[in-house]
């Protein structure tokens, strides 16, 4: 088991360290709370029906969609701004899409699914096996839209942060439904700010990622993969030709418009953000 995890983890009921540690389970003798240890990881929650197990996709600063690349840059900046000793918890880390950013950091990864890359499996909206104010930095990268009871999760995030600590969020807005059917929400930035304040946070950063070319490209891919195959043969051939023409025009347009950009939603002329980046601070 991860040493850092072993030093921080507590019984979710009494917040005292587990005192009975066997290979297959841990138990708190004060209240009898017991958790199974699965492949060296504590597993606090039976896998919820709303969990989605997906295959690992290789990610990196230059890999994935433009939104993912913007996420990478944003998160990297936030982590670089942290003290060397800062305790970081990556919540809903999945296969560790951003794990590389946390190299040489005091870092733990948690997900509701016991993926090989996580340190513990736990639904933090339901069970909190850490003491109040444990972490300096909490990370929710493309997670919030997949959490049905997100208010409970935000409460736990506030509880887990040290005063002065930060919660870093990336959440999509104009991005297609993904990991279906476990995709529940799209939030406007007004809602995100309201939720943050409602849960006691201060908003220290809010930016939208805007990318009209990527946005148009998504629509074209939708046409290509979902609409065209259903057309009768001759219409399909004609439509495919038109689509190829449009796609080459879009590539041409990109030469002039350029890549996506990050801007405050209050200053952006294009209101359709691909997604939002937020940094919330616990006062
Ligand atoms: Zn206990």
- Report the distance separating Cα 2 and Cα 117, nearest Å: 11
Q: Phi/psi zone of residue 43: left (φ > 0), alpha (ψ -120 to 50 degrees), beta?
A: beta
Å from CA of 19 to ligand 1 middle: 9
Spatial separation of the C-alpha atoms in residues 167 and 107, rounded to whole Å: 14
* pLDDT single digits (tens) 51-97: 566 676 766 677 788 999 999 999 999 999 999 999 999 999 999 98
Would the pLDDT of 124 be above 60?
A: yes
Q: How remote is the CA of residue 106 from the centroid of ligand 1, in Å? A: 25
List, as ranges, residues with CB under 5 A of the ion ligand 1.
Answer: 11, 13-14, 28, 30-31, 33
Ligand 1 centre and the CA of 125: distance in Å?
18
Question: What are the DSSP calls for 2-60, one per residue?
Answer: -HHHHHH---TTT-----EE-SSEEE-TTT--EEEEETTEEB-SPPPTT----------
Residue 49 confidence (pLDDT): 54
* Mean pLDDT along residues 23-49: 87
Please give the C-alpha separations between residue 257 and each of 249, 254, 264, in angstroms, as whole numbers: 12, 5, 19
Nearest Cα neighbor of 9 from 38, 41, 48, 51 is 41
131 CA from centroid of ligand 1 (Å): 12
Q: Ligand 1 centre and the CA of 28: distance in Å? A: 5
DSSP 202: E
Rounded distance from Cα 171 to ligand 1 centre (Å): 35
Element (H, E) at 88: strand 87-91
For ligand 1, the distance from its centroid to the CA atom of residue 10, given in whole angstroms, is: 8
CA 245 / ligand 1 centre spacing (Å): 65
Domain boundaries, the chain: 3-42, 66-208+268-281, 212-257
Q: Per CATH, which fold does 66-208+268-281 belong to?
A: Rossmann fold (3.40.50)
Specify the pTM: 0.91
Q: Confidence class of residue 47 from pLDDT cuts 50, 70 and 90?
A: low
């Amino acid at each position: 088991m991860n040493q850092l995890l072993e030093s921080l983890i507590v019984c979710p009921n009494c917040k005292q360290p587990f005192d009975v540690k066997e290979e297959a389970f841990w138990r708190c003798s004060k209240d009898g709370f017991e958790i199974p240890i699965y492949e060296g990881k504590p597993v606090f929650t039976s896998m919820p029906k709303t969990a989605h197990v997906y295959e690992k996709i290789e990610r990196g600063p230059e890999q994935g969609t433009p939104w993912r690349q913007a996420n990478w840059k944003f998160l990297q900046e936030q982590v670089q701004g942290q003290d060397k000793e800062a305790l970081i918890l990556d919540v809903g880390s999945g296969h560790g899409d951003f794990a590389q950013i946390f190299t040489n950091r005091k870092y733990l990864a948690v997900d509701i699914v016991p993926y090989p890359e996580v340190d513990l499996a736990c639904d933090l909206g339901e069970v909190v096996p850490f003491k109040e104010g444990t972490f300096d930095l909490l990370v929710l990268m493309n997670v919030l839209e997949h959490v049905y009871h997100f208010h409970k999760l935000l409460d736990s995030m506030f509880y887990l942060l040290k005063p002065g600590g930060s919660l870093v969020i990336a959440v999509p807005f104009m991005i297609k439904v993904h990991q279906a059917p476990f995709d529940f929400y799209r939030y406007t930035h007004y809602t995100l700010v309201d939720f943050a304040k409602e849960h006691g946070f201060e908003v220290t950063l809010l930016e939208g990622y805007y990318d009209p070319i990527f946005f148009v490209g998504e629509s074209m891919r939708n046409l290509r993969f979902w609409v065209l195959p259903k057309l009768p043969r001759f219409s399909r051939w004609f439509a495919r030709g038109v689509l190829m023409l449009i796609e080459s025009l879009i590539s041409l347009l990109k030469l002039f418009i350029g890549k996506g950009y990050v801007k405050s939603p209050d200053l952006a002329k294009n209101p359709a953000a691909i997604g939002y980046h937020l940094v919330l601070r616990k006062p």
